Amino acid sequence: MKVTANYGDPVSGLIDKVLKNGFVTVKNNKELSVEEFGSFAKSLGKPLVTERHIIDDGRFIQQIKATELLAAGEVEWHNDWSYGRGDYFWTVLYNKKNAHITPTTFIDMKIALEELDTSDDLDGIDGYYYPPKHLHYCFTEKQLRVLTKQNIHRPIKFTHPYTSEEVLYFSPGTLVKTSKPVNIDKLLTHCLQFKWDYNWNDNDIIIWDNIRTMHKRCEYSGNREIWRTQFKILQ
C-alpha cells in the first residue's frame, strides 16, 4: 500500500496509483504556495468547495492546525466524507509546517475485509454517518442541517464504485448507528492488525482513497499546519 511518486509526475499516473493501492506519497522538495497547491489539487479532480477554515479564493483548501480545522486533539478513526453526498471520496494533504510532530495512521480496509473470517455476517448491514458533536465547529449551521437531511448511510461491506473491489467501511469516529446490531469495537480491533503510521517529511504531499482507507491522528502540541482538499476523480 505504501506507494511513492514525485511532484511533477503525470497526474493520470498518480490517480492510477491511488485507485490501485489506496494511498500514495508524493515526494516534493519545495515549499508550495497556496496557488501552487491549489493548482495541483485541481489537477487531480474536482475539488470540494466548502465554507470553513479556507485559505484560498476558490474555497477548497482548508487549514488543519491547532487553531483551525480539527484543532490539536485526537481525531478518531474515520473515513473523510463518510457523511457527505457526492463522490468526493479522495483527500490530498500537503505538509506546510511540522506535520512530523505526530504521524497520521492508516488502515487498508480492503485487506481488513479479506482477512475477516466473519465477513458474511455483515451482508446487508448499513452504517449511518454524521459529524461528531465536538467537531461541529468545523461546519456552518446550514451545512449541518443539510447533512441531517441527507441521512447518509453506506453498506459496511462496500463495493468500491471505481474499482469494484469490496472493502470494509464503518468510520467509527462518524458512525451514528447501524441498521442491524454490529460489534464495532470487535470489528475495529480486527482492523487494527493492519494499521501503519505515515511519518511525515518536509513538504510531503499524500493522497488517499477514503473508500478503501480509514485513518486517525493522535493529540499533539506544537505549531503544526497541513493544507487539505477533498476531491472527486473525473473519469
Residues 6 or more apart in contact with residue 106 via CB below 8 angstroms: 1, 23, 195, 196, 197, 198, 208, 213, 214, 215
Question: Could you give the CA distance from residue 57 to residue 47 in angstroms, rounded to a whole number?
Answer: 13
Q: Using DSSP bridges, classify how beta strands 157-159 and 3-6 pair: parallel, antiparallel or unpaired.
A: unpaired
State the pLDDT at residue 2. Answer: 74
Tell which residue, 34, 59, 44, has the closest CA to residue 7: 44
- Contact of 190 with 52, CB cutoff 8 Å: no
Give Cα separations from 175 to 80, 113, 127, 206 (angstroms). Answer: 12, 18, 7, 25
Question: Could you give the CA distance from residue 143 to residue 146 in angstroms, rounded to a whole number?
Answer: 5
For residue 150, what is the enclosing H or E element?
helix 141-150
Domains of the chain with CATH codes? 3-232 (3.60.130.10)
State the pLDDT at residue 1. Answer: 61
pLDDT digit string, tens, across residues 46-71: 999 999 999 999 999 999 999 999 99
Question: Could you give the CA distance from residue 6 to residue 46 in angstroms, rounded to a whole number?
Answer: 21
State the pLDDT at residue 88. Answer: 98
User: Which conformational region is residue 41 in: left (phi greater than 0), alpha (psi within -120 to 50 degrees), or beta?
Assistant: alpha
Residue by residue, pLDDT tens for the chain (235 residues) are 679 999 999 999 999 999 999 999 999 999 999 999 999 999 999 999 999 999 999 999 999 999 999 999 999 999 999 999 999 999 999 999 999 999 999 999 999 999 999 999 999 999 999 999 999 999 999 999 999 999 999 999 999 999 999 999 999 999 999 999 999 999 999 999 999 999 999 999 999 999 999 999 999 999 999 999 999 999 7
